[in-house]
Structure 1
């Protein structure tokens, strides 16, 4: 499995911990995030993640910023990207099961690091249910 990850300055600590966690599981990670705490613009680090998911260069994406909102909005501008802003593992599970989310947006300022790691595991371990949810996902336009 290959994951792309991107973050702004608010998500640097979380990004490093998530990368370490994923690599310990044998998952390949492409790091597009900033490695520093100096203020940066999140779109610069989210667009490459979303592009990897959009073009199937990676299986999933993980994006991290302070509220998770800006990163999530940016990722969802890409065709075929279904980014979900999540703050609990239960919301993560539903985003995968019902919406076939392929990018997880984590709000670093509103989740604890162990909670974020648990959300990542839930995201990767939960499958899309398909069925009645499939037709709904297909109604999400890829461009307007």
Structure 2
């Protein structure tokens, strides 16, 4: 089973991501702070990390755990309102940037693309969801 971790201190964002990913057949684990991410990376196998930019000041904290992050897919959840942009926080181990607010299609496409980059196929429920709603 694919293990996706969503790291965000925003309950509404976590709920939205959970609804979208769960309805697409993905199973997620949710954490609320940077330390929980570090602990999970050290103690369990993760396939994909969706990381909310507001959990760290500017991404430099992530460099300390970069070796672990290079082994998994990383999607960086950012908002222009927060003042973070892809050019300013470009880290090699980030596979994809998603701007908040997120559309279901963008999220599913990003998750599918990043997981496939690391050799994971999507669950059959995700394929059925995309067919039902005529998504790519």
Q: TM-score range by the shorter chain?
A: 0.5 to 0.7
Structure 1-normalised TM-score? 0.51
Q: Does 1:112 align with 2:100?
A: yes
By how many angstroms is 1:117 displaced? 6.0
User: Hey, what's the Cα distance between the residues in 2 that align with 1:120 and 1:70?
Assistant: 27
Alignment of 1:26-105 (within 5 A): 26-33=25-32, 45-66=33-54, 70=57, 72-78=59-65, 79-82=67-70, 102-105=73-76
User: Hey, what's the Cα distance between the residues in 2 that align with 1:116 and 1:72?
Assistant: 25
User: Hey, what's the Cα distance between the residues in 2 that align with 1:124 and 1:50?
Assistant: 24
User: Structure 1 segments of 4 or more deviating over 4 A?
Assistant: none
Secondary structure in 2 matching 1:114: coil
CA RMSD of aligned residues (A): 3.3
Q: Which has the higher contact order (CA 8 A, sep 6+)?
A: 2
Give CA deviations for 1:54-94 in whole Å, capped at 9, x if unaligned. Answer: 5442211111134x763733333213213xxxxxxxxxxxx
Secondary structure in 2 matching 1:26: coil
Is the CA contact 1:47–1:75 (under 8 Å) kept in the aligned structure 2?
Answer: no
**Structure 1 runs not aligned, ≥5 long:** 34-44, 83-99, 130-144
**Structure 2 runs not aligned, ≥5 long:** 82-98, 119-136
Change in Cα spacing, 1:81 to 1:116, as seen in structure 2 (3 Å) is: farther
User: Hey, what's the Cα distance between the residues in 1 that align with 2:117 and 2:29?
Assistant: 23
Structure 2-normalised TM-score? 0.53
Aligned length: 99
User: Hey, what's the Cα distance between the residues in 2 that align with 1:57 and 1:12?
Assistant: 24
User: Hey, what's the Cα distance between the residues in 2 that align with 1:73 and 1:120?
Assistant: 27
